[in-house]
Amino acid sequence: MTNSKLLEILDQIRLLRSPKRKLATFGDTRIQYHLLSSVEDLPDRCRLRQGNLLAFKPKILTLEALKERFQGFGSEAREYVDWLREAYWDVFRALEYSFKNEMSETRVLRQKPKVVAEKIQQDLDGREIAEAAVLMCPDAGWQLALMKFILDETRRSFPFQLREMEDRNLFNPEIREETRKRQEVEGLLKAASRDRSLIKDLGEKLHRYGLFQEYEDRFFSLI
């Protein structure tokens, strides 16, 4: 796709209703979307695409490629990756994000996009649906519209997610490793309570991690 065509699509994308909440830092976020497009040569028709965008819990940055972070956005989604990488590099510099599109329905309606959009917004507001969005875009650029939207939401949430992770010292390698060890021990304690053959492995790990004294009472209660 040429840059001029891409810019033409971008210029016509409209976010009419945005979610009321930011993306979660320590869990996945599901956003309901309603995406409206005009139907070529049929000015009194519109195409309505509905579904959910899933933003997975962000992780500390790895070397995973940006193009592998979008699932379910159609075969043409890769064409937009270079532009997205440049335009949204700020939100990818510290955290790794991934997204999935779960489209549930596509249909053509005998009304103009703007009319349908107003009705959907009124319905969502009336039911106080917080995590829902309404967008308009050219029919040929629906993948780009959804990808841009979820990245805009990521950018909006990014400073708060960074702050919450910093508050939990998740960017400190030593603290992260200590947290990982304790999570592993906690999981092994639960497993050993159901399967006594794991007690030996638990004891060895507690000694290796230097945590035996801290978990001594819980370990002997299993024996």
Nearest partner of 109 among 51, 49, 45, judged by Cα: 45
Is the overall model pTM greater than 0.85, yes or no?
no
183 burial level (CB within 10 Å; 0-12, 13-18, 19+): exposed
Sketch the domain layout of the chain as residue ranges. 3-167, 173-222
Give the C-alpha separation, 152 to 28, whole Å. 16
pLDDT in tens, the chain (223 residues): 678 888 999 999 999 999 999 999 999 999 999 999 999 888 889 999 999 999 999 887 554 455 567 888 887 777 787 788 778 877 776 688 889 999 999 999 999 999 999 999 999 999 999 999 999 999 999 999 999 999 999 999 988 988 888 887 776 667 667 777 888 888 889 998 888 898 888 889 989 989 888 888 888 888 7
Report helix, strand or coil for 63: coil
The one-letter amino acid code at 217 reads D
* List of residues 6+ apart from 35 with CB closer than 8 A: 48, 49, 50, 135, 136, 137, 142, 145, 146
- Asked if 113 and 138 touch (Cβ cutoff 8 Å), the reply is no
